A = this chain, B = another copy of it.
């Protein structure tokens, strides 16, 4: 993807002034769906390259059995070299620190001349894990050849990670650009001994905790996997719920999940129409000296304008970013 620079802008528009110091990194590149593909599996990777999806993740971690780990980490640079993934963001997910496999992953993947757009570090428990990984990558890879920081996503999937989330999400570095906070719900549920239910009420706290921390530091917040890949109605319900909560995207595990997820994280026609009309009405009332006014039965003031602006920015990003490279 030659010439693809770092796309960084604040999609929240003018609203950001007072917190700009916290989220200069907020990414305008939409990542409504990110799909995992086992790093050794050329067939699935080639298929993925043909799909309309914002991001793909070539996986070395949980989607790869222990006896395929070496094959995956050797195959991924070749995949990146020969496959045209179009405008998709190409991430690689390495194995987590506790496995002892991360160093081999990094050596193989970052030594290549075909670097991905970003890296995902799973099972991050503390900012110390991120620092450890960045040091490892700096020692082993050829990141210096990049004319930009490497995009980084971190996955939080343990109880202790949730308790350390403020320091995790406020991570800063010159070499890595932390853009995504990804919620690994299945590992999290396993660790806290919980069971996934229909409405995922047992994850209410954790999901909103993740959103809150991501947004406080301008990161994208990526929601949990919906495991039952045949249940598209349940998928849609959960995706829309996540979007309304403030997630910016969702992990997918099957091509059949992509369209529903990407649509759920895009503004609807009704939302766009409402946002445009409100934006005009707000401007009119400001000129008349009215800070608050009634619009379609709701009392409107600046915060609702900001919500409208969010919708308009999002639709611009979704339409613009994946046709430009």
Interface residues of chain A, those whose CB is within 8 Å of chain B, are 12, 15, 17-19, 22, 36, 38, 40, 59, 62-68, 96-98, 123, 125, 157-160, 162-163, 166, 184, 186-187, 189-195, 197, 201-202, 204-206, 208-209, 211-213, 215-216, 225, 227-231, 241, 243-246, 248, 253-254, 285-292, 294, 297-304, 306-307, 309-310, 314
Contact = CB atoms under 8 A, between A and B. Distances in A.
Given A17-B98, A67-B289, A289-B67, A307 B215 contact: no
A66 B303 contact: no
A188 B299 CA distance: 17
B194 A205 contact: no
Q: Rank and list the top 4 A-B pairs by shortest CB-CB distance, nearest first.
A: A18-B98, A186-B303, A205-B208, A190-B306
B245 A212 contact: no
A151 to B, nearest CB: 20
14 contacts: A62-B291, A65-B287, A65-B288, A68-B290, A186-B307, A187-B303, A190-B303, A193-B314, A201-B204, A204-B205, A227-B298, A227-B299, A229-B299, A231-B297
B163 A213 contact: yes
Contacts of A241: 201
A62 B202 contact: no
Contact of A302 (B62, B162, B215): B62
Contacts of A309: 190
B212 A310 contact: no
A192 B246 contact: yes
Given A62-B303, A63-B292, A192 B215 contact: yes
A244 B66 CA distance: 30
Contacts of A300: 227
Contacts of A163: 166, 212-213, 216
B190 A12 contact: yes
A228 B160 CA distance: 35
A95 B204 CA distance: 33
A208 to B, nearest CB: 3
Nearest to A302: B62
